[in-house]
Structure 1
Protein backbone atom coordinates (compact mmCIF):
# COMPACT_ATOMS: atom_id res chain seq x y z
CA UNK A 1 0.00 0.00 0.00
CA UNK A 2 1.49 3.42 -0.95
CA UNK A 3 2.37 5.90 1.76
CA UNK A 4 -0.15 8.76 1.56
CA UNK A 5 1.16 10.79 4.48
CA UNK A 6 2.28 14.34 3.78
CA UNK A 7 6.05 14.63 3.54
CA UNK A 8 7.78 15.70 6.72
CA UNK A 9 9.16 19.22 6.12
CA UNK A 10 12.02 18.52 8.52
CA UNK A 11 13.06 15.45 6.49
CA UNK A 12 13.60 17.59 3.36
CA UNK A 13 13.91 21.17 4.56
CA UNK A 14 13.92 23.95 2.00
CA UNK A 15 15.97 26.17 4.28
CA UNK A 16 19.00 24.84 6.09
CA UNK A 17 19.88 26.35 9.47
CA UNK A 18 23.61 27.06 9.24
CA UNK A 19 24.14 26.33 12.96
CA UNK A 20 22.85 22.76 12.41
CA UNK A 21 25.09 21.91 9.44
CA UNK A 22 27.94 19.47 9.98
CA UNK A 23 31.39 20.83 9.18
CA UNK A 24 32.62 17.25 8.63
CA UNK A 25 29.93 15.78 6.42
CA UNK A 26 28.02 17.20 3.46
CA UNK A 27 24.31 17.79 3.89
CA UNK A 28 22.41 16.39 0.89
CA UNK A 29 19.22 17.99 -0.41
CA UNK A 30 16.56 17.23 -2.99
CA UNK A 31 13.77 19.63 -3.91
CA UNK A 32 10.95 18.59 -6.21
CA UNK A 33 8.22 21.26 -5.98
CA UNK A 34 4.55 20.32 -6.28
CA UNK A 35 2.46 21.18 -9.34
CA UNK A 36 0.95 24.14 -7.47
CA UNK A 37 4.36 25.54 -6.56
CA UNK A 38 5.64 25.03 -10.13
CA UNK A 39 2.58 26.88 -11.50
CA UNK A 40 3.23 29.80 -9.13
CA UNK A 41 6.92 29.85 -10.13
CA UNK A 42 5.99 29.84 -13.82
CA UNK A 43 3.72 32.83 -13.26
CA UNK A 44 6.39 34.65 -11.25
CA UNK A 45 9.00 34.03 -13.97
CA UNK A 46 6.64 35.00 -16.79
CA UNK A 47 6.72 31.65 -18.56
CA UNK A 48 3.82 29.55 -19.80
CA UNK A 49 4.56 26.38 -17.88
CA UNK A 50 6.96 24.46 -15.68
CA UNK A 51 5.92 20.80 -15.89
CA UNK A 52 9.17 19.51 -14.35
CA UNK A 53 11.56 20.97 -11.76
CA UNK A 54 14.14 19.10 -9.72
CA UNK A 55 17.05 20.44 -7.65
CA UNK A 56 19.50 18.06 -5.97
CA UNK A 57 22.92 18.41 -4.42
CA UNK A 58 24.75 18.98 -1.18
CA UNK A 59 25.97 21.72 1.11
CA UNK A 60 29.38 21.34 2.72
CA UNK A 61 31.86 23.40 4.72
CA UNK A 62 34.00 25.63 2.51
CA UNK A 63 37.49 26.63 3.63
CA UNK A 64 36.51 26.66 7.29
CA UNK A 65 34.59 29.95 7.12
CA UNK A 66 31.62 29.48 4.87
CA UNK A 67 29.54 26.91 3.06
CA UNK A 68 29.43 25.68 -0.51
CA UNK A 69 26.35 24.46 -2.36
CA UNK A 70 26.93 22.13 -5.32
CA UNK A 71 23.85 20.98 -7.13
CA UNK A 72 22.10 20.13 -10.37
CA UNK A 73 18.95 21.80 -11.58
CA UNK A 74 16.84 19.96 -14.14
CA UNK A 75 13.65 21.42 -15.53
CA UNK A 76 11.26 21.41 -18.45
CA UNK A 77 9.92 24.85 -19.26
CA UNK A 78 7.34 26.11 -21.73
CA UNK A 79 7.81 29.63 -23.07
CA UNK A 80 6.21 31.62 -25.87
CA UNK A 81 8.25 31.79 -29.10
CA UNK A 82 9.54 35.35 -29.60
CA UNK A 83 8.51 35.20 -33.27
CA UNK A 84 5.27 33.18 -33.46
CA UNK A 85 4.12 33.10 -29.79
CA UNK A 86 3.70 29.32 -30.15
CA UNK A 87 4.69 27.29 -27.06
CA UNK A 88 8.34 26.23 -27.01
CA UNK A 89 9.39 23.43 -24.65
CA UNK A 90 12.96 23.38 -23.42
CA UNK A 91 14.71 20.84 -21.22
CA UNK A 92 17.27 22.43 -18.89
CA UNK A 93 20.11 20.80 -17.01
CA UNK A 94 22.42 23.15 -15.13
CA UNK A 95 25.23 22.72 -12.63
CA UNK A 96 24.79 25.12 -9.72
CA UNK A 97 27.59 26.26 -7.43
CA UNK A 98 27.15 28.86 -4.72
CA UNK A 99 29.51 29.86 -1.95
CA UNK A 100 28.06 31.40 1.21
CA UNK A 101 30.58 33.55 3.06
CA UNK A 102 30.32 35.65 6.21
CA UNK A 103 32.56 38.20 4.43
CA UNK A 104 30.18 38.75 1.52
CA UNK A 105 27.53 41.45 1.75
CA UNK A 106 24.27 41.89 -0.10
CA UNK A 107 24.54 44.20 -3.13
CA UNK A 108 23.05 47.67 -2.76
CA UNK A 109 21.20 49.56 -5.46
CA UNK A 110 19.21 48.40 -8.46
CA UNK A 111 22.03 47.31 -10.75
CA UNK A 112 25.25 46.17 -9.16
CA UNK A 113 27.97 44.25 -10.93
CA UNK A 114 29.10 41.30 -8.85
CA UNK A 115 32.77 40.32 -9.21
CA UNK A 116 31.99 36.70 -8.27
CA UNK A 117 28.46 35.63 -9.13
CA UNK A 118 28.74 32.42 -7.10
CA UNK A 119 29.38 34.33 -3.84
CA UNK A 120 26.41 34.92 -1.52
CA UNK A 121 26.21 36.47 1.93
CA UNK A 122 25.97 33.95 4.77
CA UNK A 123 23.00 34.41 7.07
CA UNK A 124 21.28 32.21 9.62
CA UNK A 125 19.81 30.01 6.88
CA UNK A 126 20.81 28.76 3.43
CA UNK A 127 17.61 29.05 1.40
CA UNK A 128 17.59 26.15 -1.07
CA UNK A 129 14.35 27.34 -2.70
CA UNK A 130 15.85 30.77 -3.42
CA UNK A 131 18.96 29.11 -4.90
CA UNK A 132 16.75 26.89 -7.09
CA UNK A 133 14.61 29.80 -8.35
CA UNK A 134 17.65 31.95 -9.09
CA UNK A 135 19.35 29.12 -10.99
CA UNK A 136 16.15 28.49 -12.97
CA UNK A 137 15.74 32.17 -13.85
CA UNK A 138 19.34 32.35 -15.06
CA UNK A 139 18.99 29.15 -17.12
CA UNK A 140 15.85 30.22 -19.02
CA UNK A 141 16.43 30.83 -22.73
CA UNK A 142 16.11 34.61 -23.22
CA UNK A 143 14.70 34.37 -26.78
CA UNK A 144 12.98 31.01 -27.26
CA UNK A 145 12.11 30.17 -30.86
CA UNK A 146 9.83 27.52 -32.26
CA UNK A 147 11.46 25.21 -34.77
CA UNK A 148 11.66 26.93 -38.15
CA UNK A 149 10.49 30.32 -36.82
CA UNK A 150 12.23 33.23 -38.48
CA UNK A 151 11.84 36.96 -38.22
CA UNK A 152 9.80 38.47 -41.05
CA UNK A 153 11.79 40.34 -43.71
CA UNK A 154 11.82 44.12 -43.56
CA UNK A 155 8.73 45.82 -45.01
CA UNK A 156 8.89 48.17 -48.00
CA UNK A 157 8.50 51.22 -45.74
CA UNK A 158 11.37 50.03 -43.57
CA UNK A 159 13.51 49.34 -46.65
CA UNK A 160 12.73 52.79 -48.06
CA UNK A 161 13.63 54.33 -44.72
CA UNK A 162 16.93 52.41 -44.81
CA UNK A 163 17.60 53.65 -48.38
CA UNK A 164 17.02 57.23 -47.21
CA UNK A 165 19.56 56.74 -44.45
CA UNK A 166 22.13 55.39 -46.91
CA UNK A 167 21.65 58.37 -49.28
CA UNK A 168 21.11 61.43 -47.09
CA UNK A 169 21.61 63.95 -49.97
CA UNK A 170 19.53 62.08 -52.57
CA UNK A 171 16.96 64.88 -52.97
CA UNK A 172 19.37 67.79 -52.60
CA UNK A 173 19.59 68.32 -56.39
CA UNK A 174 15.79 68.78 -56.56
CA UNK A 175 16.01 71.43 -53.90
CA UNK A 176 18.78 73.33 -55.67
CA UNK A 177 17.12 73.18 -59.12
CA UNK A 178 13.53 73.91 -58.21
CA UNK A 179 14.02 76.02 -55.17
CA UNK A 180 11.15 74.13 -53.50
CA UNK A 181 11.04 71.32 -51.05
CA UNK A 182 11.46 67.71 -52.21
CA UNK A 183 8.48 65.34 -52.09
Structure 2
Protein backbone atom coordinates (compact mmCIF):
# COMPACT_ATOMS: atom_id res chain seq x y z
CA UNK A 1 0.00 0.00 0.00
CA UNK A 2 1.48 3.44 -0.94
CA UNK A 3 2.49 5.64 1.96
CA UNK A 4 0.34 8.79 2.30
CA UNK A 5 2.64 11.73 1.54
CA UNK A 6 0.02 14.36 2.30
CA UNK A 7 0.97 14.22 5.98
CA UNK A 8 4.72 13.73 5.92
CA UNK A 9 7.66 12.74 3.74
CA UNK A 10 9.34 11.06 6.70
CA UNK A 11 9.06 7.34 7.38
CA UNK A 12 9.69 6.18 10.94
CA UNK A 13 11.81 3.03 10.73
CA UNK A 14 10.07 1.52 13.79
CA UNK A 15 6.70 1.77 12.00
CA UNK A 16 7.83 0.07 8.79
CA UNK A 17 6.79 -3.56 8.26
CA UNK A 18 9.64 -6.08 8.30
CA UNK A 19 8.06 -8.69 6.05
CA UNK A 20 7.09 -6.65 2.96
CA UNK A 21 8.05 -3.47 1.10
CA UNK A 22 6.48 -0.10 1.81
CA UNK A 23 5.63 1.82 -1.34
CA UNK A 24 5.72 5.62 -1.47
CA UNK A 25 4.90 8.31 -4.00
CA UNK A 26 6.05 11.85 -3.34
CA UNK A 27 4.85 14.72 -5.57
CA UNK A 28 5.69 18.08 -3.97
CA UNK A 29 3.26 20.94 -4.53
CA UNK A 30 4.15 24.23 -6.23
CA UNK A 31 5.38 25.90 -3.01
CA UNK A 32 7.62 22.93 -2.12
CA UNK A 33 9.03 22.82 -5.69
CA UNK A 34 9.80 26.55 -5.49
CA UNK A 35 11.63 26.01 -2.21
CA UNK A 36 13.64 23.12 -3.69
CA UNK A 37 14.51 25.27 -6.72
CA UNK A 38 15.74 28.04 -4.43
CA UNK A 39 17.83 25.66 -2.32
CA UNK A 40 19.44 24.14 -5.44
CA UNK A 41 19.95 27.50 -7.19
CA UNK A 42 17.61 26.85 -10.10
CA UNK A 43 15.08 29.08 -11.83
CA UNK A 44 12.32 26.59 -11.16
CA UNK A 45 11.09 23.02 -10.88
CA UNK A 46 8.09 22.49 -13.16
CA UNK A 47 7.42 18.84 -12.31
CA UNK A 48 8.80 16.60 -9.61
CA UNK A 49 7.88 13.01 -8.89
CA UNK A 50 9.59 10.49 -6.60
CA UNK A 51 8.08 7.02 -6.53
CA UNK A 52 9.45 3.82 -5.09
CA UNK A 53 9.64 1.47 -2.17
CA UNK A 54 11.54 0.84 1.05
CA UNK A 55 12.22 -2.71 2.23
CA UNK A 56 14.41 -4.55 4.68
CA UNK A 57 17.90 -5.56 3.62
CA UNK A 58 19.19 -8.18 6.02
CA UNK A 59 18.27 -7.90 9.68
CA UNK A 60 18.91 -4.22 10.41
CA UNK A 61 19.40 -2.38 7.13
CA UNK A 62 16.90 -0.91 4.65
CA UNK A 63 17.00 -0.51 0.87
CA UNK A 64 15.26 2.36 -0.91
CA UNK A 65 14.65 1.95 -4.64
CA UNK A 66 12.85 4.70 -6.50
CA UNK A 67 12.43 6.53 -9.76
CA UNK A 68 13.04 10.29 -9.86
CA UNK A 69 11.27 12.29 -12.54
CA UNK A 70 11.67 16.04 -12.86
CA UNK A 71 11.45 18.92 -15.29
CA UNK A 72 13.80 21.68 -14.16
CA UNK A 73 14.71 25.14 -15.36
CA UNK A 74 18.25 26.47 -14.98
CA UNK A 75 20.18 29.44 -16.36
CA UNK A 76 22.30 28.84 -19.46
CA UNK A 77 26.00 29.24 -18.60
CA UNK A 78 26.56 31.31 -21.75
CA UNK A 79 23.45 33.46 -22.23
CA UNK A 80 21.76 33.20 -18.79
CA UNK A 81 18.51 32.39 -20.63
CA UNK A 82 16.34 29.59 -19.20
CA UNK A 83 17.26 26.01 -20.10
CA UNK A 84 14.67 23.30 -19.49
CA UNK A 85 15.98 19.81 -18.70
CA UNK A 86 14.04 16.58 -18.22
CA UNK A 87 15.48 14.19 -15.64
CA UNK A 88 14.41 10.55 -15.34
CA UNK A 89 16.73 8.58 -13.12
CA UNK A 90 16.66 5.57 -10.82
CA UNK A 91 17.63 6.21 -7.20
CA UNK A 92 19.00 3.54 -4.87
CA UNK A 93 20.06 3.98 -1.26
CA UNK A 94 21.21 1.35 1.21
CA UNK A 95 20.47 2.67 4.68
CA UNK A 96 22.90 0.88 6.99
CA UNK A 97 22.24 0.67 10.73
CA UNK A 98 25.86 0.14 11.79
CA UNK A 99 27.69 2.36 9.32
CA UNK A 100 30.87 3.53 11.08
CA UNK A 101 30.87 7.30 11.43
CA UNK A 102 34.06 8.68 12.91
CA UNK A 103 34.58 12.35 12.13
CA UNK A 104 37.97 12.58 13.83
CA UNK A 105 39.80 9.98 11.75
CA UNK A 106 40.15 9.60 8.02
CA UNK A 107 38.16 6.75 6.57
CA UNK A 108 38.04 5.37 3.06
CA UNK A 109 34.98 5.98 0.94
CA UNK A 110 33.10 2.74 0.43
CA UNK A 111 32.89 1.46 -3.12
CA UNK A 112 29.11 1.65 -2.90
CA UNK A 113 28.43 5.39 -2.71
CA UNK A 114 24.71 4.72 -2.29
CA UNK A 115 25.23 3.74 1.36
CA UNK A 116 24.29 6.08 4.15
CA UNK A 117 23.70 5.83 7.85
CA UNK A 118 20.26 4.76 9.04
CA UNK A 119 18.71 6.79 11.82
CA UNK A 120 15.28 6.45 13.38
CA UNK A 121 13.63 8.02 10.32
CA UNK A 122 13.97 7.95 6.54
CA UNK A 123 13.52 11.45 5.13
CA UNK A 124 12.19 10.92 1.60
CA UNK A 125 12.18 14.65 0.79
CA UNK A 126 15.88 14.92 1.67
CA UNK A 127 16.76 11.86 -0.41
CA UNK A 128 14.71 13.16 -3.35
CA UNK A 129 16.31 16.61 -3.17
CA UNK A 130 19.80 15.11 -2.94
CA UNK A 131 19.14 12.81 -5.92
CA UNK A 132 17.83 15.78 -7.92
CA UNK A 133 20.91 17.85 -7.07
CA UNK A 134 23.20 15.04 -8.22
CA UNK A 135 21.23 14.57 -11.47
CA UNK A 136 21.25 18.25 -12.51
CA UNK A 137 23.45 19.23 -15.45
CA UNK A 138 26.59 20.93 -14.13
CA UNK A 139 26.77 23.35 -17.06
CA UNK A 140 23.32 23.81 -18.61
CA UNK A 141 23.60 25.29 -22.08
CA UNK A 142 21.07 26.18 -24.73
CA UNK A 143 21.58 24.41 -28.05
CA UNK A 144 21.86 27.72 -29.92
CA UNK A 145 24.22 29.37 -27.39
CA UNK A 146 27.66 30.32 -28.66
CA UNK A 147 30.56 31.85 -26.83
CA UNK A 148 32.30 34.40 -29.01
CA UNK A 149 35.89 35.38 -28.44
CA UNK A 150 36.10 38.42 -26.19
CA UNK A 151 38.93 40.90 -26.29
CA UNK A 152 39.49 43.46 -23.57
CA UNK A 153 41.95 46.34 -23.50
CA UNK A 154 42.40 49.85 -22.25
CA UNK A 155 41.34 52.63 -24.64
CA UNK A 156 43.99 53.30 -27.28
CA UNK A 157 45.79 49.93 -26.92
CA UNK A 158 45.64 46.79 -29.04
CA UNK A 159 43.67 44.00 -27.35
CA UNK A 160 45.44 40.72 -26.62
CA UNK A 161 44.16 37.58 -28.29
CA UNK A 162 43.76 34.18 -26.64
CA UNK A 163 46.90 32.95 -28.44
CA UNK A 164 48.99 35.77 -26.98
CA UNK A 165 47.84 35.00 -23.44
CA UNK A 166 49.13 31.44 -23.55
CA UNK A 167 52.22 31.11 -21.34
CA UNK A 168 54.42 29.31 -23.87
CA UNK A 169 53.64 31.64 -26.80
CA UNK A 170 56.40 34.03 -25.67
CA UNK A 171 58.88 31.17 -25.28
CA UNK A 172 58.16 29.99 -28.83
CA UNK A 173 58.91 33.47 -30.16
CA UNK A 174 62.11 33.66 -28.08
CA UNK A 175 63.21 30.27 -29.41
CA UNK A 176 62.68 31.44 -32.98
CA UNK A 177 64.79 34.55 -32.34
CA UNK A 178 67.59 32.47 -30.79
CA UNK A 179 67.59 30.03 -33.70
CA UNK A 180 67.88 32.93 -36.20
CA UNK A 181 70.81 34.27 -34.22
CA UNK A 182 69.27 37.57 -33.29
Q: TM-score range by the shorter chain?
A: 0.7 to 0.9
Counterpart pick for 1:128 among 121, 124, 128: 124
SS at structure 1 position matched to 2:94: strand
CA distance in 2 between counterparts of 1:42 and 1:98 reads 23
Confirm whether residue 168 of structure 1 aligns to residue 171 of structure 2. yes
TM-score, normalised to structure 2's length? 0.80
The structural deviation recorded for 1:161 is 2.0
Conserved 8 A contact 1:105-1:120: no
Does the Cα contact within 8 Å between 2:45 and 2:73 map onto a contact in 1? yes
Q: Distance in 2 between matches of 1:50 and 1:154?
A: 33
**Unmatched tracts of structure 2, length 5 or more:** 152-159
Partners of 1:43 and 1:107 in 2: how far apart? 32
- Aligned to 1:144, which of 101, 126, 140? 140
Q: Distance in 2 between matches of 1:30 and 1:169?
A: 63
Q: Please state whether the residue corresponding to 1:168 is helix, strand or coil.
A: helix
Q: Which residue does 2:96 correspond to in 1?
A: 101
Quote the residue 1:159 is aligned against: 163
Q: How does 1:1-183 map to 2 (within 5 A)?
A: 8-9=6-7, 13-106=8-101, 108=103, 114-115=109-110, 116-153=112-149, 155=151, 156-162=160-166, 165-168=168-171, 170=173
Q: Runs of 5+ in structure 1 lacking a partner?
A: 1-6, 178-183
Q: 1:148: Cα distance to partner?
A: 2.2
